[in-house]
Amino acid sequence: MKASQPGGRFNIPFERRSILSGITQDLRMPVGQTVQWWRWDANATGVDDVYDVGSLGTGRVWKTGFDVPAVNAVIYQGVTLQDERGFYNTDVLRVTLNMEDVERLFPTMPTSPDDFLRDRIVYRNEVFRPTHFFPRGLIKGRYTLFTLDANQINPEEMVNDDQFAQYSN
């Protein structure tokens, strides 16, 4: 038995790699979906100092969206709020990602999820804002899955976001 592999070939790193590979081959590849991820671009954004909305001229800016492979993506019907302001409903998108993809595409997400709260996710022609992050499947201090929830952004919330104008009609 090698000193670098206590317990033989079937050590924790081997098992984790096997799980991640199995998730990719058995779940993500044949039945998974993709979501389009747009990273917030703080450097290119012009935000009004008072109202925290896109300022005239530049506005809020996101880097061009790219496809992220998901093990699963599901939209849950949101809670309808009926109050003095009227009827308001937003859905919730729950996305489960293979940690292998998270580590490759978003290496800081597990330790700094707040850095992703201004991002946008487009799924089934709807725009969502990440709100909650849940690392899952802990094996000896390392995760195998990463789930996140994102709230739908209604069309009236995107009036100053030119990049998402096509989704606000």
Q: How far apart are the first and last CA of the chain?
A: 64
On whether residue 92 sits in a domain, the answer given is yes
DSSP 8-state class, residue 40 = B
On whether residue 4 sits in a domain, the answer given is no
Please give the pLDDT value at position 11: 79
On whether residue 3 sits in a domain, the answer given is no
Q: What is the pLDDT of residues 15-71, one digit of tens each?
A: 777 777 776 666 655 666 899 999 999 888 877 666 665 555 677 899 999 999 998
Is the per-residue pLDDT at 72 higher than 60? yes
Residues with Cβ within 8 Å of 96's Cβ and at least 6 positions away in sequence, in order, are 70, 71, 72, 73, 136, 145, 146, 147
Distance separating alpha carbons of residues 116 and 141, to the nearest angstrom: 22
Provide the domain limits for residue 55: 12-167
On whether residue 7 sits in a domain, the answer given is no
Q: What is the pLDDT of residues 78-113, one digit of tens each?
A: 877 677 767 778 899 999 998 899 999 999 999 999
